[in-house]
C-alpha cells in the first residue's frame, strides 16, 4: 500500500493557492462582461463624435458653395461698376420706371449710336461679357442676372444722375444668393 503523507505546511500552501484562484477580490483582470460593456459605451461615444464630424463636413460644403456664389456676385458687381454710367442710365433706367433685369442677352444691346451698352472686352476675337453672366467656377455653372432700378429720392436729395441701384442675383444648382450695390457716375468715381 501506498501512503501519501502531506505535511501541514504543504496543506496550508495548497489551500492558499485554491483561495487565490477562486477569490474575486484578488483577481487582477477584467471579466468578459466588463470588456463588452466598455466596448459598447465606447462605440456609442464614437458614433456621437462621428455625427459631429459629419455635420461639420456638411456645414463646410455649404459654406464653400455660398462663398463661390458670393465671389461670382462680387465679380459681376465689379464688372457693372466699370460700365459707362450714361449708357446704362439711358438704355435701362430712363426707359423703364420699375427697373430692368439684364442677363447674358444684354451683352448684345446697343445704343442708337451703335455702341454696345455693356463694355465688350474682346479677347481672341470673343467678347468677355457673356462670361460674367454665365461663369463656371470649380466645375459649377452659375447663372447671373442684374436688376437695375431707378434711384429713389431720400432726404430731398436727387442722386439719380449719380447712382444706379443694382441687385446681382446668382443661381447655381439648388442655391441662390444676391448682393446689392450701386453703379456710380464717372464724375463721382
pTM recorded for the entire structure: 0.69
Confirm whether 73 is domain-assigned: yes
- Parent domain of 62: 53-188
Confirm whether 21 is domain-assigned: no
Total structural domains within the chain: 1
Confirm whether 130 is domain-assigned: yes
How far apart, in whole angstroms, are the C-alpha atoms of residue 105 and residue 145? 10
DSSP H helices, the chain, are: 8-22, 32-81, 85-88, 129-133
Cell of 15: 489551500
Confirm whether 132 is domain-assigned: yes
Confirm whether 41 is domain-assigned: no
Confirm whether 154 is domain-assigned: yes
DSSP assigned state of 58? H
Q: What are residue 116's phi and psi, to 5 degrees?
A: -65, 140
**pLDDT (tens place) for every residue of the chain, 189 residues total:** 444 554 555 556 666 666 666 665 555 677 888 889 989 999 988 988 888 899 999 999 889 889 999 999 999 999 999 888 998 988 888 777 777 899 999 988 888 888 888 877 766 656 788 889 999 998 899 999 999 988 877 655 677 788 899 999 999 998 999 999 999 988 876
Amino acid at each position: 500500500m501506498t501512503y501519501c503523507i502531506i505535511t501541514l505546511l504543504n496543506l496550508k500552501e495548497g489551500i492558499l493557492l485554491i483561495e487565490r484562484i477562486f477569490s474575486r477580490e484578488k483577481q487582477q483582470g477584467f471579466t468578459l462582461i466588463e470588456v463588452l460593456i466598455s466596448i459598447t459605451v465606447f462605440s456609442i461615444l464614437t458614433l456621437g463624435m462621428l455625427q459631429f464630424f459629419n455635420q461639420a463636413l456638411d456645414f463646410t460644403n455649404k459654406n464653400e458653395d455660398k462663398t463661390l456664389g458670393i465671389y461670382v456676385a462680387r465679380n459681376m458687381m465689379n464688372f457693372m461698376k466699370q460700365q459707362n454710367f450714361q449708357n446704362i442710365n439711358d438704355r435701362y433706367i430712363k426707359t423703364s420706371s420699375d427697373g430692368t433685369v439684364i442677363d447674358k442677352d444684354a451683352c448684345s444691346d446697343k445704343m442708337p449710336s451703335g455702341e454696345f451698352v455693356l463694355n465688350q472686352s474682346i479677347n481672341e476675337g470673343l467678347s468677355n461679357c457673356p462670361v460674367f453672366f454665365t461663369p463656371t467656377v470649380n466645375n459649377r455653372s452659375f447663372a447671373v442676372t442684374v436688376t437695375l432700378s431707378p434711384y429713389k429720392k431720400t432726404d430731398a436729395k436727387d442722386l439719380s444722375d449719380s447712382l444706379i441701384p443694382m441687385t446681382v442675383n446668382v443661381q447655381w444648382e439648388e442655391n441662390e444668393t444676391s448682393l446689392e450695390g450701386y453703379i456710380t457716375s464717372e464724375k463721382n468715381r
